[in-house]
Amino acid sequence: QSVLTQPPSVSAAPGQKVTISCSGNTSNIGNNYVSWYQQVPGAAPKLLIYDNYKRPSKIPDRFSGSKSGTSATLGITGLQSADEAHYYCGTWDSSLIAALFGGGTKLTVL
């Protein structure tokens, strides 16, 4: 069981918006930056969001990130079938002295 808690699955229709939550504590999310990754089946993860809300240059602005207290959220607007993937949050844990990932959320575009 992961220290960072994500919902196992979310779903929405094409064109709609979805949010994925990542819950932690003061040792991890509460005092460290959060990143988000997309992993399509059979491929390596890809960085979507870093430093809580920043996007690498090639990531479209349909993807957004936010953080409040000990929770972080990934938002995806204008859903496309290509967005079907697993999404993981990640951060550093100052107590465990380890990088952590959430358990992952499977996004289904209906």
Task: Give the footprint of other proteins on this chain (CB under 8 A).
Answer: 2, 32-33, 35, 37, 43-47, 50-51, 54, 56, 88, 90-92, 96-104
Whichever of 98 and 110 has its CB closer to other proteins, that residue is: 98
Identity of the residue, 44 or 82, whose beta carbon is nearer to other proteins in the bound complex: 44
Residue with tokens 């819950």: 23
Query: Closest distance between other proteins and the C-beta of residue 69, in Å?
Result: 19
How would you classify residue 81: left for phi > 0, otherwise alpha for psi between -120 and 50, otherwise beta?
alpha
CA distance 14 to 110: 7
